[in-house]
Amino acid sequence: MTKSLRDRAEATTKEVQDILGISADTHPKEIADAVEQAIIKALLEERQRCADVAFKCCEEDRDKAHKVSEEINRINTALVANLSALR
């Protein structure tokens, strides 16, 4: 089964709490929020890097490069909207 970002953030929260030897009641929401935001930021930065690479790799065909870059950015926008709706 596919895990959502929130599921991954909550699992990581439990791991961090175990590593630090702190109670599971110690700021679980705040830790999970921070982890989730870090995951989202990394995904968005990676998508932008992919768009930049696609654009640079297709220098000889600027139209194609622009279309690929726009599609990656469109998907990025949809990802942000979907993640925001989950909150």
DSSP string over the chain: -PPPHHHHHHHHHHHHHHHHT--TTSSHHHHHHHHHHHHHHHHHHHHHHHHHHHHHHTTT-HHHHHHHHHHHHHHHHHHHHHHHHT-
Higher pLDDT, 3 or 39: 39
> Is pLDDT at 30 greater than 80 in this prediction?
yes
What does the pLDDT look like over 40-77, one tens digit per residue?
A: 888 888 888 887 877 777 667 777 777 777 887 788 78
* Rounded CA separation 34/8 (Å): 12
> Is pLDDT at 36 greater than 60 in this prediction?
yes
Average pLDDT, the chain: 81
Tell me the domain boundaries of the chain: 5-85
Q: Percentage of the chain surpassing pLDDT 90?
A: 9
Q: Is this structure's pTM higher than 0.75? A: no
